Structure 1
Amino acid sequence: MRRTVDYYLAPQSPWTYLGHERLAALLRETGSAVRVLPMDLGKIFPLSGGLPLQKRAPQRQAYRLLELRRFSEALNIPLIPEPQYFPVAGDPAARLITAVALHDGDEAAMRITGAVLAAVWHQQRDIASPALLATLLAETGLSAARLDDSLQADVQARYEAQTQAAIDLGLFGSPSYVIDGELFWGQDRLDFVARKLRA
């Protein structure tokens, strides 16, 4: 049976970056479908007990950096734990990914998502910049019109609906993968995602 992964993400998340290409490979291997669903963690965190990074306790912030380095090395995925443009507003990129999914499909949305994530965590580029988002569209072979599309009311409504769906499902962090109603939170749960997709 061909399954679909509902892929809820925040485009500024390092954990989403660490899992993105591995998820893409898993989808190809298993012939699974995906729905790319950016969500607004700024609305989700207050409802789920989450805190923005700068409001977390110092020991939690320090351990996060340790874990980022640990996973980067273990997975052989290049990552700069404290990039120049972070923290960064994720909404512009989230709306762009949503616009691409709407107009070009989820395969294209996976491409632009990967480019956005790498821009933050490997290339130290500012994903809140419209100019940079336009460059990423060009680099991934997507229409420049998607930047204007991302500012339209229908895309904003879809982004808000995705966020509400995440809230309704009880999601609380990025990345979250939902398969047949079952939640898998975090890139370190991709082994369980693989088991589900291969079953």
Structure 2
Amino acid sequence: MTKVCEYYFAPQSPWSYLGHERLIALARQYDVHIEMKPVDLPKLFSVSGGLPLAKRPPQRQAYRLLELKRWSEHLNLPLNPQPKFFPVSGEPSAKLIIATKFAHGTDAALDLTSAVMRALWAEDKNIMDADTLIALANAAGHDGAALFKSSETAAVQNEYEQFTNDAMAASVFGAPWYVVDGEAYWGQDRLDFVERAFQK
């Protein structure tokens, strides 16, 4: 029986970006199915005591920038800690990812997620902009306009809301968040533990 990893993430989260490709690689290595669940991160913050970046104390904001630089260099993954289009809502891109999963499956959606996160954190692109999202989907080999249109349907909106509700029910309070065999792991810096869970 194939092991499953529930993967709660937000496309606008730099920590999700830093862990995304490594999670995919681990899942492929250990034949684990990733159950993707892009979520409304501000909504999770609002019910769990989290604060949006602008409302965090300056010392926390400063340390966040240090950690982003540190992890970017450690992973050899390009990242601009203060991109041009941030803060930004992750909802349009999350819904495009869900529409892609509906139309083309999990692997295609994971690949598009990589492109969306890279666009924000390494390429200074606006992931709230419809034309940008359509171009990213086109570059991934899809009909971007059709996928974007699908992303605005009630079915996709309902799925996005359900994933967020699932996250709240599972006591998720940040992203990325992984659940393996009922055990939760918060943050891309917990992927070593996620790998051990994959091996069991």
TM-score range relative to shorter protein: over 0.9
Distance across 1 between alignment mates of 2:35 and 2:147: 18
Match of 2:4 in 1: 4
Give the corresponding residue for 2:137: 137
Structure 2 gaps, min length 5: none
Match of 2:85 in 1: 85
1:70 matched to 2:70: yes
Q: Which runs of 5+ in 1 are unaligned?
A: none
User: How far does residue 139 in structure 1 lie from its aligned partner after superposition?
Assistant: 1.0
Deviation at 1:143, TM superposition (A): 2.6
Name the counterpart of 1:158: 159
Moved over 3 A (4+): none
Give 3-state SS (helix, strand or coil) of 2:115's partner.
helix
Where does residue 61 of structure 1 map in the other structure? 61
What's the counterpart of residue 176 of structure 1? Answer: 177
Q: Separation in 2 of the partners of 1:42 and 1:73?
A: 28
Give the deviation of 1:2 after TM superposition.
Answer: 2.1
1:146 aligns with 2:147: yes
Partner secondary structure for residue 50 of structure 2: coil
| Residues 82-131 of structure 1 deviation map (CA, whole Å, 9 limit, x = unaligned) | 01111111110011111111221111110110000000100110000000
Q: TM-score scaled by structure 1? A: 0.98
Quick one: distance in 2 between partners of 1:178 and 1:142? Answer: 30
Q: Which amino acid aligns with 2:106?
A: D
User: Which residue is 2:195 aligned to?
Assistant: 194
Q: CA RMSD in A?
A: 0.8
Higher deviation after alignment, 118-127 or 140-149: 140-149
Deviates more, 1:55-64 or 1:34-43: 34-43
Cα separation, 1, equivalents of 2:4 and 2:84: 35
The residue aligned with 1:27 is: 27
